[in-house]
Amino acid sequence: MEDARRNGAKLIDIGCMQINVYFHGAEFKSVAEMFDPAKNVAYAAQFLRRLHNKHDTWTMAVARYHAGPNNDPAQQRYVCRVISNLVATGYGQWTVNARNFCAA
């Protein structure tokens, strides 16, 4: 990670839930803490819950989790890929909301 920073990278995702240091680093005691799987997952779960509460659907919560509030094309690509992979592996089905979002 330090090499990436020295090379000018700002948007660095860390840990199993890919928490972005630039946007969420202040929520952790240190960068090292962000690498702790339990703390990484716990923070991600809380963040996803807040996004769901704000946006009302898991589709939009996952979209915002990945790309933030101002990157609609990246959000759509990401969330549609996530849903497609979940359905392909037998975890759930396409909802009307998700299908409409991905068809747009």
What does residue 14 show for φ and ψ, rounded to 5 degrees? -125, 145
Tokens found for residue 45: 């779960």
- Domain count for the chain: 2
In this predicted structure, what is the pLDDT of residue 64? 87
Same domain? For 51 and 68 the reply is no
In this predicted structure, what is the pLDDT of residue 15? 95
Same domain? For 46 and 86 the reply is no
From first to last of its 104 residues, what are the pLDDT tens digits of the chain?
778 877 888 889 999 999 999 999 999 999 999 999 999 999 999 999 999 999 888 888 888 888 777 788 888 888 899 999 999 999 989 989 889 889 87
pTM score of the predicted model: 0.76
- Give the range of the structural domain holding residue 66, as residue numbers without chain letter: 57-104
What is d(CA 89, CA 78) in angstroms, rounded to the nearest whole number?
A: 17
Same domain? For 64 and 104 the reply is yes
In this predicted structure, what is the pLDDT of residue 10? 81
Same domain? For 64 and 50 the reply is no
